[in-house]
A = this chain, B = another copy of it.
Amino acid sequence: MDLLQGLKKGNKRAAAKLITMIENRTEGYQDVLKEIHKSSGKAYVIGITGPPGAGKSTLTDKLVKEIRKQDKKVAIIAIDPTSPFSGGSILGDRIRMNDLSLDPGVFIRSMGTRGHLGGLSVATKSAIKILDVYGAEYIFVETVGVGQSEIEIVKSADTTVMVMVPGLGDDIQAIKAGIMEIGDVFVINKADRDGANRTRAEIEMMLDFSNSEFKPAVKMAVAVDGKGINDIIDEIERHKEYLIKTDKYHHNRVTSAREEIVEIIKENITDKIFNDHLISSQLAELTQKVVKREIDPYTAGFNILKSIKL
């Protein structure tokens, strides 16, 4: 409860401790989330995603520095593959070393992709809520991969910035197909490299096929030199205005809340399976039978479902 008081007053340590509590699912974490839910929902959430090597961290760094000029409190959540060897996060360390971490108005946190039985997207949404109540006006969520889970995570952002880079070769087709639907602002970073105009043209052509009401712009940037940053911020602002004007802002949050509830239900079912001694031994026994081809996994699953008390 002291932590919750601290959080509401904007205490960084309280925010950090509460996020850890949620990541570790320390007893009482659900009470914390229940308690803070009613004070949350004010922050604007910006997702930053794109393929590895696109320079997403650098771009996030520059965007945050620009927003800080307006003296707004900012938080960054870096979704970060956790090293099995170091036991810690790697990208997070890289980010934390930079000068942003010295700014008292910036909260930086990396969240690993391991050990989230209930799914990383639930943990991320919970961390967003904590940082919202902590007082962050803008929350950046930066993912490393471009996989399905990462798409799930950035889907819950209000505005998603898709960072591309010249020279992805044929894979750009596949990436574009997977991400086109979730990008609200497109950035060709490292635009001083060969092929930037071609990549831009390819993305614009693909966007032309879309019949969605909001037409995302494709912006060129060289984040490392600070080039194109203001343009991107203007685009984020344009998208935000569009969302609010069309009530999509509210509609998206309804979708996100529905998904969160369904995820919580699934998380709870998984908990019941692994925390109940009888059910987990039943699972172990039936798994052996499935491997021996004595029964099939559907029959096994339905048998276990019968043992779960809701």
Q: CB within 8 Å of B: which residues of A? A: 30, 33-35, 37-38, 40-41, 51-55, 57, 80-86, 89-91, 94, 113, 120, 143-151, 167-181, 206, 209-210, 250, 253-254, 257-258, 260-262, 264-266, 268-270, 273, 283-284, 286-288, 290-291, 293, 295-302, 304-306, 308, 310
Copies per complex?
Answer: 2
Q: Which residues of B sit under 8 angstroms from A264, Cβ to Cβ?
A: 297-298, 300-301
CB distance from A212 to the nearest CB of B (A): 9
**Once the chains bind, are B301 and A81 in contact (CB under 8 Å)?**
no
Task: Kindly state the separation between the CA atoms of A82 and B177 in the bound complex, as whole angstroms.
Answer: 6
**Once the chains bind, are A144 and B171 in contact (CB under 8 Å)?**
yes
**Once the chains bind, are B262 and A273 in contact (CB under 8 Å)?**
yes
CB distance from A45 to the nearest CB of B (A): 15
**Once the chains bind, are B147 and A34 in contact (CB under 8 Å)?**
no
**Once the chains bind, are A174 and B81 in contact (CB under 8 Å)?**
yes
> Which 5 pairs of residues, A with B, have the shortest CB-CB distance?
A147-B147, A81-B178, A145-B147, A37-B296, A264-B301
Q: Taking A91-B177, A146-B146 as given, write out 13 further A-B residue pairs in contact, using a Cβ cutoff of 8 Å, ordered by the A residue number.
A: A35-B296, A41-B293, A53-B53, A83-B180, A144-B174, A145-B146, A145-B147, A145-B148, A147-B149, A254-B287, A254-B291, A261-B283, A266-B270
